[in-house]
Structure 1
Amino acid sequence: MLKTCIIIEDQPPAQRILQKYIADVGSLELLHTFNNALEAIPYLQQNSVDIVFLDIHLPKISGIDFLKTLQNSPNIILTTAFSEYAIESYEYNVVDYLLKPFSFQRFVKAIAKANNKTTTSQPRETHNEQAKTPVAQTFLIKSGYDLIKVKSDAIMYIHSDSDYTEVATKDKKIISSDSLKQWLEKLTNNFLQTHKSYIVNSDYVSKVSGNQIIINGIEQKIPIGRAFKERFIENIKS
C-alpha cells in the first residue's frame, strides 16, 4: 500500500532531489510540494498525510516553528543542512533527521523508520522507562597507583591525549591508561565517538552547534568530526 507524502522545501534543487527519491522508492505517493510551511498548514488540516519531508530554514516560519503548530502530527522527516537543531527537533518526535546532502540509501533508511514507527502516539515520559534506561556500568579506573570507582552514568565525556585518556565526570577528571578504543569496547550505546579524540555520553548533550557539541552544565565544547557527524545525529534521539 502506497504511503502518501508532501514536501515542504523552498529550494528548487532540493525539491527536485526529494521528488526523484520519492519516485525511485516506488512505495510513496507525492501529493504536493510546498515552498513554505504556512501554505502546508491548511492543507494538513484538511488532508491525511503519512509523511512530511520538512526543511528547517524556510521563509515566513521555520520548520521548527511549524512543528510547534502540529497537534496530530504525521511522520516528520527533517531535511536540512544544519545539524544544530537535531536535539530540539526530537522533542517534537520527528522520525529522522537527514543532513544535506544525503544519499538515496540514507533516504530509504529514513522511510523504513517511518514505516516501522507505531501509529499509537504516547508521551515520551510514559514509554517503558526500564527498557529505555540501561543499567549503569561500574568501572575501576587505574589512574597511576590508584583504582577509582566510577559509574558510567556519571561520565560526561572521554578525551584522548597521546598515551592516556581523560575521563570527565560530573565533579572530576580522571587520568586513565586505557585507550579511546578500549573505552569504546567497554561502554554502552549511549556513548558515541564524535571525533578521533573524543567519546561523548549522549545523555549529557544539550545542543549541537555547527561542528561542536555543548555539554550540559559545563563550558566544555566537544568537537564533532565530519566522519562521525551523521552517525551521531542518527543516534542522538533517545
Structure 2
Amino acid sequence: MRCIIVEDQQPAQRILKKYIADIGSLTLVGTFGDAMQAMDFLQNESVDLMFLDINLPKLSGISFLKSLSKRPQVIMTTAYSEYALDGYELDVVDYLLKPFSFERFVKAVGKVRRHTELSGETENQSKKEHFIKIGYEHIRIAFDDIIYLAADGDYCEVCLADKKHLSSEPMKKWLELLNQDDFYRIHKSYVVNIHKIIKLSGNQVHLQDDAVLPIGRTYREEFMERFLK
C-alpha cells in the first residue's frame, strides 16, 4: 500500500518511518510537515493510506480531512485522546494515541487491510453487469438476465433466456463477481440465479428457460435450507 505521513514533529516522523519500513506491504511515498503540502501532493498522486496528525500548523488534521473530497484510508495520530471522537466521526480506520508501540501500529495497519478487503467485496457485490469477450467483441451481460452458469473446464457458459455465451473466465471468477444473495452453487458444475427457479423436484432444479439441472449431493442440504427458509 502506498502511504504518506502528515506530521509536523520530527521525532514522530522518525518513528512512523521506522515502523513503515518494518512492514513490507507499506511503501512510503511522501512525508509532509503540514496539511497544505499534503493537499498539493494528493491532487496529483494516488495514495492508499495516510498517517495523519491532528495538531498541525496552518490547518488542523480534522479540518484537512473534512476538506478532502476523495480520501485515502486514514490512521490518525495525536497525543490528545479527546480528539478520538472527531476522528471516528470522519470514518478514520484507527486512532493511535502517542506514544504508541510497534505492536499497536501493526494492529492499526491490519484494520486498514481488512477494511480494504471488505470494501472490495462490497464493490463486487454492488456490480450489476459484466463484459465478456466473444471473439473480437465484448458483450455486456446484466447479472439479472443470467439464469444459470455452467462450468466448462477453465471456461464458463453463461446462460441467458435467449442465448448462451462461453466466457473465458472460470466459474471461480464469476462467483467473485456475483452477489451471493442472488446466485447459489447447486453442483460443482452449476450456479443458478435463485430468482429464476420455478420449482424443485427431487434432486433437480427447474428454471425459467426450461432448463433442468441436478443438485449435487454435497450442496443439497445447504441449498434446500436456504431456498426453503
Deviation at residue 45 of structure 1 after TM alignment: 1.5
Structure 1 stretches of 5 or more lacking a match? Answer: 123-238
Q: Return the alpha-carbon distance in structure 2 between the equivalents of residues 88 and 14 of structure 1.
A: 21
Q: Return the alpha-carbon distance in structure 1 between the equivalents of residues 41 and 67 of structure 2.
A: 13
> Which residue of structure 1 lines up, in the alignment, with residue 91 of structure 2?
93
Q: Which amino acid aligns with 1:58?
A: L
In the alignment, structure 1 residue 39 sits paired with structure 2 residue 33: no
SS in 1 for 2:119: coil
> Which residue of structure 1 lines up, in the alignment, with residue 176 of structure 2?
none
Q: Return the alpha-carbon distance in structure 1 between the equivalents of residues 108 and 20 of structure 2.
A: 12
Q: Which amino acid aligns with 1:83?
A: S
> Which of 80, 87, 112 is residue 114 of structure 1 equivalent to?
112
Deviation at residue 43 of structure 1 after TM alignment: 0.9
Q: Which has the higher helix share?
A: 2
1:177-233 Cα shifts (integer Å, max 9, x gaps): xxxxxxxxxxxxxxxxxxxxxxxxxxxxxxxxxxxxxxxxxxxxxxxxxxxxxxxxx
SS in 1 for 2:43: helix
SS in 1 for 2:29: strand
Q: Superposed, which structure 2 residues align to 1:1-238 within 5 Å?
A: 3-117=1-115, 118-119=118-119
Structure 2 stretches of 5 or more lacking a match? Answer: 123-229
Q: Return the alpha-carbon distance in structure 2 between the equivalents of residues 95 and 63 of structure 1.
A: 15
Cα RMSD, aligned residues only: 1.6
| Structure having the higher Rg | 2
Runs of 4+ in 1 over 6 A off after TM superposition: none
Q: TM-score with structure 2 length normalisation?
A: 0.51
Deviation at residue 39 of structure 1 after TM alignment: 0.6
1:107-156 Cα shifts (integer Å, max 9, x gaps): 00000000111336x9xxxxxxxxxxxxxxxxxxxxxxxxxxxxxxxxxx
Comparing both chains, which one has the higher relative contact order based on Cα–Cα distances under 8 Å and sequence gaps of 6 or more?
1
